[in-house]
Structure 1
Amino acid sequence: MRKPHEFLSAIRAGTPIEWRRLLNAMSKNGIPPGTLILCLAPESPLAQRTQVRIVDESLFTDIESQFPSPTPITDRVSASHTGKSHSQSVEGNALMIQYHPWQRPEVAVSWDGRRWSPPPPENTSLVIVENLQNFLRYRETLDLITADCDIEDQPEQLVLAFGAGNAAAKACNLPYYRQFRNVYTLFDLDMGGIKTYANLKSLLGPADMTPRFLAPSNFEQYLERSRWHLTQDERSAIHLARAKHPELAPLLTCMYTKGKKLEQETYLERIHG
């Protein structure tokens, strides 16, 4: 035992404790020995371990209330009682999606992290868009993808999903992704985008699916125009990523050579040719 709540719980249960260690632990947490002696009576203060009798129930209860036992954390709700809800994953998820014939986006929902509704349109491919601005300017983004990103899918075969960064790689998204013919990504050309792609690649691997990282075929021109430079640490990370993701080698090599990165909103100012 080291923590105050552990000693107090043992005393309450009638379990022998190390009296001197109790005094030290409680002193470090603002309860002096004199206060403890008012409510507790060890059977043998000199013994290494001794049973401790509660002689002032009211005072002991007050001390107990200052050192509650930690709440077992099993999910996001139980974690919220300790102010650490963000340490646990949400059980399900919701994806905002847009399809060519629709007038406005819809939401695909998984309430339990396993089943999704509604199912996606049949015989379609998914494009996960990292940033909201590109998703909202759906027609322009769709034109860029079908005209400049060297894919065979037609606009009516593509469903766009707002990825919200690394949330796109949540494990519970896999059952939804598996319902598409292909999974494409339109991410920033930076280490954040590369890391999200890597996480998505790991997620889809067991389902025998491989995402494709989309970028305009003239990505060199976009990088040339960018004023956003890679740090030395980012250049090193890009170098390592080339070995892990050889399918991205031309793109990563260009980023490394030019020392540039860019956010996908840049694509909304199209460079033709």
Structure 2
Amino acid sequence: MAKTPQTRLPDYLEKIAAGKPVNYSAFEKQLELAGITDRQRRDLFRVKLAGPNRHIVEILDQVAFNKLQNRFVQQALTDRVSAAVAGNSHRVSVSGACLLLRRESVPHPQVVLFEGQEWHCPVKPAERALLVENLENFLALARTLAILPDCGWCPSEPVDLLYAAGNQITNAILQPFLSRYAELNCLFDPDPGGIHMFRTLRQRMPQFSMRFLYPRDIEARLAASNRLLDVHVRTDLINYTGISPEVDRLIALLRRTNRTLEQETYI
């Protein structure tokens, strides 16, 4: 069964939303086949070369980008079923999503599942959520929660710990469930990848209460790190200023120390 050109658009759009490089020439052809004009592309994206046939695509109009993604959700579902028949389903985005959730009163991970048009959560969501990027932090529930006061947050009520599974938390399909919380607290890696994830979430949910957490002694931790900041990435970090005061401070520290960290070091 032939694979129509448009079926790859959801994959490209998901990678762009996550800040991953794509072959822009190939992506541009898919957009053209989908009826997206040159002017619309220029209004939507700014492109930077990251390597041979690899481009970082910056989103200029998040609202229009979200509409473009939503336009191809049903297309992705149909195409994945068709692709499975052809033995190529791994090349097409899945039609659903799931999240892992824990809290002190419910230590065993709960699976939050999106099927069709609805989210199914086995427990009532708390008022506030803590998003962690890495599995080790999700598994170490007590130690991860214990670091929060040092990050300037002392929650007096239960907190839902959500496993972000790397950058999968930025998938647009998760936004309706995340919107159930009154506040999102992001304990991401203090590095360009973590900052990019946070910016994507802020762009998707601009009116939402959200903050980027890191320990008060982050400068000393960075100074002791052996993870060097790439010179090109160091320059690109300037483009992320203005997201929030705490992110602006983190960017300044990353550039000053020329170092990054992984959040596993917090525990």
Tell me the residue number matched to 1:58.
none
In structure 1, distance between residues paired with 2:200 and 2:88: 24
TM-score normalised per structure 1: 0.64
In structure 1, distance between residues paired with 2:86 and 2:228: 41
**1:131-186 residue CA offsets vs partner (Å, 9 max, x unmatched):** 000110110000101x11112423x4210011011110111111111111101111
Counterparts in 2 of 1:198 and 1:119: CA distance versus 1, 3 Å? farther
Contact conserved, 2:111 with 2:122, CA < 8 A, in 1? no
In structure 1, distance between residues paired with 2:188 and 2:231: 21
Tell me the residue number matched to 1:20.
none
Tell me the residue number matched to 2:39.
none
Q: What are the residue-to-residue correspondences of 1:151-166 with 2, within 5 Å?
A: 151-154=153-156, 156-166=157-167
In structure 2, distance between residues paired with 1:201 and 1:84: 34
Tell me the residue number matched to 1:36.
none
> How far 1:246 moved relative to its partner?
5.0
In structure 1, distance between residues paired with 2:255 and 2:103: 35
Counterpart code for 2:102: Q
Q: What are the residue-to-residue correspondences of 1:141-220 with 2, within 5 Å?
A: 141-145=144-148, 147-154=149-156, 156-205=157-206, 208-220=207-219
Indicate whether 1:133 and 2:136 are aligned: yes
DSSP 3-state at the match of 1:106:
strand
Counterparts in 2 of 1:157 and 1:80: CA distance versus 1, 3 Å? same
Choose which of 70, 95, 99 in structure 1 pairs with 2:99. 95
**1:97-127 residue CA offsets vs partner (Å, 9 max, x unmatched):** 1011113111111112x32122653552111
Tell me the residue number matched to 1:51.
none
> How far 1:231 moved relative to its partner?
0.8
In structure 1, distance between residues paired with 2:79 and 2:130: 31
Identify unmatched segments of 5+ residues in structure 1. Answer: 1-71, 269-273
Indicate whether 1:104 and 2:112 are aligned: no
Identity across matched positions, percent? 32
> How far 1:257 moved relative to its partner?
0.5
Tell me the residue number matched to 1:29.
none
Q: Which has the higher strand share?
A: 2
Identify unmatched segments of 5+ residues in structure 2. Answer: 1-74
Contact conserved, 2:125 with 2:160, CA < 8 A, in 1? no
**1:16-43 residue CA offsets vs partner (Å, 9 max, x unmatched):** xxxxxxxxxxxxxxxxxxxxxxxxxxxx
Counterpart code for 1:107: V
Contact conserved, 1:115 with 1:175, CA < 8 A, in 2? no
Tell me the residue number matched to 1:228.
227
Counterparts in 2 of 1:98 and 1:244: CA distance versus 1, 3 Å? closer
Tell me the residue number matched to 1:118.
121
Tell me the residue number matched to 1:252.
251
In structure 1, distance between residues paired with 2:208 and 2:243: 17
Tell me the residue number matched to 1:13.
none
RMSD: 2.1
* Rg comparison, structure with higher value: 1
Contact conserved, 2:129 with 2:161, CA < 8 A, in 1? yes
Counterpart code for 1:104: H
> How far 1:235 moved relative to its partner?
0.4
Contact conserved, 2:228 with 2:260, CA < 8 A, in 1? yes
DSSP 3-state at the match of 1:195:
helix
> How far 1:209 moved relative to its partner?
0.9
